[in-house]
Amino acid sequence: MQQLITVLSISTTKNETIKATLKATKERRKRQTCRVFELKIDSSHLNHHTKEHLKRLFLEAKWLYNYILSQHNVFDTDYKLSEVPVKVKDNFELRELRHLSSHMKQSLIKRTMDNIKGLTRLKANGRKIGRLTFKSYVNSIPLKQSGNTYRILNDKYIRIQGISQQLRVNGLTQIPRGSELANATLIQRHGDYFVTITIYQTREHTTPPSKTVGIDFGVKTQLTLSDGIAIQYVIPISNKLRKLHQKLSRCQFRSKNWYKTKCKLEKAYAKVNNIKKDVKNKLVHYLHTTYGIVCYQDENIKAWQRLWGRKIVSTAIGGIIRTLEVKVHTPIKVDRFFPSTKTCSRCGNIRDIGLDERIYTCPVCGLVMDRDHNASVNLDNEGLKQLVPTGRRDVKPVETESSTLASLEYLNGIPYVKASSVCEAGSLIASA
């Protein structure tokens, strides 16, 4: 009896220690910045056994996920199971889970449970939801514990639990030294393998810039800033994509050539999307580091896509707006129905203006101004009205000119981006 009491007291103390450690970790991470780095596994350095192991991992992950959904009570799924029934045509066959480790099984089960809990919360809030469906493939496997499920060996190699070969990856040098490693995810995408690693590092407290700006989004000129900078960029669809679509349509559905062509098509689209993402991140970084307050309008991007289609898709304006809401120090969203284009930024007069009119002319005060520049100034003024009234800092013309030239030099250094200065008088454009 005394031994049983001793064992129970030790177990209780251990549980309390674990809870205290988890609580301290959560409090510490609230004061840190979370970042995610995506690393590509170099397939040219993988041997045949490792390639087959990775393929089998994702196949077993699909089997396990479908088995979890088939259970009457998903929350009773045991992570120690070694085989699962798999439907083959009209029958079920038992398949052995040889490559998935216990940690991977636990992570897949927990992720499925979290998805079900999330749908339950949405349903409780009155949202119309569906149900989780069986999958024909699973593209990601959680690696929840650094040092056990995965381990970084040096600046070039990592190790994943269950794989004997050291995996060479590209991009490990971008992870800051001394940062706290958290969970990771093994991803399969268009024939290649990637590892996303989440890290926590000390948050740097920086003073936001004092400058404010209004941004007018458009089709012809993607971004027009209230300080007179017009930014244009378009990532066109290449002929390679069109040829691959034609080739895929001629292949027999689900044949080997169909899968090969589909993989090439996915890689081509991924390259275009990566270019869009790079341009978006650099533009948002410029706005984040240059301006403390950013005012923009709540645009209906879906309606734009129905009207102009490919012109909007090739610019990813919606991604810029969503990122601004998170990255900028003080984002201010102006109402969608505010007449920013029709309003005179000098006297406030409102008049109708056609889409073909690129110059705004006010019949009351005689203002002649580029229509997008006029709209961005109106958005800047309207957005600042939502804040506590503050006095603006007077900026000298020489300071404004030097700042504009530096901004144009930086923006024109971004691939696919063309920035220019919009002048009020006659809407002259002075290229950088």
Residue at 119 is within a domain:
yes
Q: How much is the pTM? A: 0.82
In a domain? residue 262: yes
One domain, residues 232 and 360 = yes
More confident residue, 103 or 355: 103
CB 383 within 8 A of CB 293: yes
Q: Is the pLDDT score of 429 beyond 60?
A: no
pLDDT at residue 393 greater than cutoff 80: no
Domain's final residue, options 168, 202, 236: 202
pLDDT of residue 198: 95
Cα dihedral 348, 349, 351, 354 sign: negative
Residue 348 maps to a domain? yes
Other C-beta atoms lying within 10 Å of the C-beta of residue 399: 10
**Residue 19 within any structural domain of the chain:** no
Task: Specify whether 354 is located in the same domain as 232.
Answer: yes
Q: State the residue range of the domain holding 281.
A: 212-392+400-431
pLDDT in tens, 148-187: 999 999 999 999 999 999 999 999 999 998 888 999 999 9
Last residue of a domain, one of 172, 202, 232: 202
pLDDT tens, residue by residue, 341-381? 999 999 999 998 888 888 999 999 989 999 999 999 999 99
Q: Is 22 part of any domain? A: no
**Would you state the pLDDT for residue 309?**
79
pLDDT at 316: 82
Q: Are residues 336 and 420 in the same domain?
A: yes
Q: How many domains does the chain have?
A: 2
Out of 151, 182, 202, pick the residue that ends a domain.
Answer: 202
Of 391, 385, 377, give the one whose Cα is nearest residue 340: 377
